Amino acid sequence: MTPAARIQAVIELMDHMQSIWRADRRAPVDALMAQYFKARRYIGSKDRGAISDLLYFTLRYGATLEWHLEQCGKAANPRRVVLAALLFHGEKPLTRAQILALFDGSQYAPASLNEAELAILDKLDGKELLDASMPLPARLNFPDWMESRLRERFGEALEPAMQALNAQAPIDLRVNLLKCRDVGDLILALDADGYFGAPTPHSPIGVRLQKRLPAFNTQAFRDGKYEMQDEGSQIVAQLVAAKPGQKVVDFCAGAGGKTLAIAATMQNKGRILALDVSERRLNEMPKRLARAGVHNVQTHVLRDERDPFLKRHIGSADWVVVDAPCSGSGTWRRNPDLKWRMSEQDLSEIKVLQQNILTSAARLVKPGGTLVYITCSIFRDENVEPVVQFLGNNSIFRVEHPGKLWDKHVRYEEGLGPTLALSPHQDGTDGFFAVVLTNHATASAV
């Protein structure tokens, strides 16, 4: 593809995304891009990378770009946003003359600039991306309605926190201890493929690639020696200290990232029940289990969080993991579209679902067993408040310290106690929240 054709592809993708989001905010950008590329198999890997890079830039800095367009007196649309982005994107942004040459109306290229677009180009040429006069949501790139929640979580650290959440995430790998002795084994295996990694700063089972490379293209991956998993996700999965022979219920298992990590901790001994309401996501798990050499996992699709299937497992699990549905605000580095697709109404609905899931999942914990509640959110609404409400109705559960290994990540929340809180600006991980709850009921009381 020519550079001009790549730009036109980004404009088409943005236009398609916006029409989809108007109908369904929950359509993720990575899925929409996959559909776009699948229908255009002639687009090579380098072209896909360039298209994705520019598209994600427009999503990371969406509020900033719209502010610039407002200063030009123009309403935002996909073509104008991409035009503005080209003046700021990359180490060497395009010049006015280069942009004019690319928007020439030739085959596969964007149409020539109209009068209004030329005015935008003239006014923004030579400007800096960030301007001191910008309101905070435009400068830090978040919707206005989120500001009070972000201040509640980060306080005076709001600016560095948001800058970190707008940055590009590293590629982290979780070592599969069923096939590697330690991270050193994996680093050596990656070296053989020309992929250079180093141990992650916090997780003892993590490797961080030194360059952004396609992590599915190595022999080590095909051999099942690792899974792609953010270091923060690795850490919260390790809060489930399940022993060989125990029973674990992964209540919101998805495609099985944490299920796989827990299976390795259990040395493939015992039983893991992986549940989810999404059959599509659970269907992705068997091939991952087979590649990783995991054979102690049973999957089951739930109708909803109150599925009658759950009754046969009440009071039987040593560990129950609730990786709860949430806003995904902690993953904005990887999924910047989430902040623009989320509304306050969506957040309110998620909070109700979280409470229902937490209440239902807690029934499965046996006396002396442990419930681990996890979100990849930075909002107190989805983290602290659901657990406080749950404990108010379930006095047999008590908050436990996450463990000495994670002392530096512990945050004491008023009315709750010690929780594990991770964020990009402090820990270099995605934003995660977790709390460990132990069932202190006696067996005779159940």
Q: What is the pLDDT of residues 191-207, one digit of tens each?
A: 999 999 999 999 999 99
Burial class (CB in 10 A: 0-12, 13-18, 19+), 392: exposed
What is the pLDDT at residue 446?
47
Rounded to whole angstroms, the maximal C-alpha distance in the chain is: 79
Tracing tokens 């047999």 back to the chain, one arrives at 396
Task: Give SS3 for 57.
Answer: helix
DSSP secondary structure letters along 339-389: HHH--HHHHHHHHHHHHHHHHHHHTTEEEEEEEEEEES---TTTTHHHHHH
What is the pLDDT at residue 23?
79
Task: Compute the 3-state secondary structure of the chain and give helix, strand, coil in percent, each to the nearest 5.
Answer: 45, 15, 40
Residue 271 has pLDDT above 50, yes or no: yes
Record the tokens describing residue 104, joined without a space: 């020439």
Task: Give SS3 for 72.
Answer: coil
The length of the chain is 446
What is the rounded CA–CA span in Å between residue 73 and residue 67?
A: 10
Can you give the pTM of this predicted structure?
0.93
Strand partners, 437: 371, 399
Which amino acid, residue 94?
Answer: L
Task: Give SS3 for 52.
Answer: helix
pLDDT category at 21 given cuts 50, 70, 90 is confident
Residue 6 has pLDDT above 70, yes or no: yes
Give the count of alpha carbons within 13 A of 5, CB side only: 11
Residue in 264, 258, 113 with CA at minimum distance from that of residue 183:
264
What is the pLDDT at residue 415?
87
What is the rounded CA–CA span in Å between residue 424 and residue 285?
A: 28
Average pLDDT over residues 417-422: 96
What is the pLDDT at residue 212?
86
Residue in 381, 423, 432, 380 with CA at minimum distance from that of residue 402:
432
What is the rounded CA–CA span in Å between residue 364 and residue 439?
A: 10
Record the tokens describing residue 67, joined without a space: 């502010």
Residue-wise pLDDT for 59-71, tens only, equals 999 999 999 999 9
What is the rounded CA–CA span in Å between residue 255 and residue 261?
A: 12
Complete edge-to-edge strand list for the sheet that includes strand 172-175: 197-199, 206-209, 172-175, 226-228
Residue in 172, 227, 180 with CA at minimum distance from that of residue 201:
172
pLDDT category at 443 given cuts 50, 70, 90 is low
Q: Which residues contact 178 (CB under 8 A, 6 or more apart)?
A: 224, 263, 264, 267, 268, 292, 293, 294
What is the rounded CA–CA span in Å between residue 118 and residue 61?
A: 21
CA distances 233 to 259, 317, 415, Å, are 11, 22, 25
Residue-wise pLDDT for 123-150, tens only, equals 999 999 999 899 999 999 999 999 999 9
Residue 393 has pLDDT above 70, yes or no: yes
Residue 444 has pLDDT above 70, yes or no: no
What is the rounded CA–CA span in Å between residue 360 and residue 249?
A: 12
DSSP class of 134: S
pLDDT category at 49 given cuts 50, 70, 90 is very high
- In order of start, what are the domains of the chain with their CATH numbers? 3-141 (1.10.940), 172-229 (3.30.70.1170), 232-445 (3.40.50.150)
Beta strand pairing call for 417-422 and 247-250: unpaired
Residue 157 has pLDDT above 70, yes or no: yes
Burial class (CB in 10 A: 0-12, 13-18, 19+), 75: exposed
Neighbours of 194 (CB within 10 A): 9
Record the tokens describing residue 217, joined without a space: 């293209």
